[in-house]
Amino acid sequence: MVESLQIQLKKGVLEMCVLALLSKGDNYAYDIASRMAEAVGMGEGTIYPLMRRMQNDGLVSTYLQESGSGPPRKYYKLTKSGAQALKSQISDWQTFETAVRKILGDVT
């Protein structure tokens, strides 16, 4: 285990989940937030800064599309770099998960 917890937890899990969702198809922030809210309780206020960060990091690109219900949606699309990051983060996550399971050990 080389990386610090920061990478595993702080920069990590949310971004990884969003990348995973996008890997199944382009999507817009509001919908991503809804899914994540249901799954892991993430608030809507969290997603927009996160998406901007990911765009700055070159993990996603965006395009606008009219929706007919409300303002136009800003769709996010995984870049090659994003797909690569996803793979790497999944690997990190699994390593971390294994380490935690080992610490919990027979307490579980």
Interface with a second copy by CB under 8 A: which residues?
1-5, 8-10, 13-14, 16-17, 20-21, 23-24, 35-36, 38-43, 46, 86, 90, 93, 96-97, 99-100, 102-105, 107-108
Burial of residue 74 (number of CB atoms within 10 Å: 0-12, 13-18, 19+): middle
Query: Are the C-beta atoms of 78 and 55 separated by less than 8 Å?
Result: no
Q: Does 43 bind DNA (CB under 7 A)?
A: yes
Measured CA to CA, the distance from residue 57 to residue 85 in angstroms comes to: 10
Amino acid occupying residue 1: M
Q: Which of 1, 20, 39, 53 binds DNA (CB under 7 A)?
A: 53
Give me the residues that bind DNA (CB under 7 A), please. Answer: 4-6, 9-11, 14, 28-31, 33, 41-46, 48-53, 67-71, 73-74
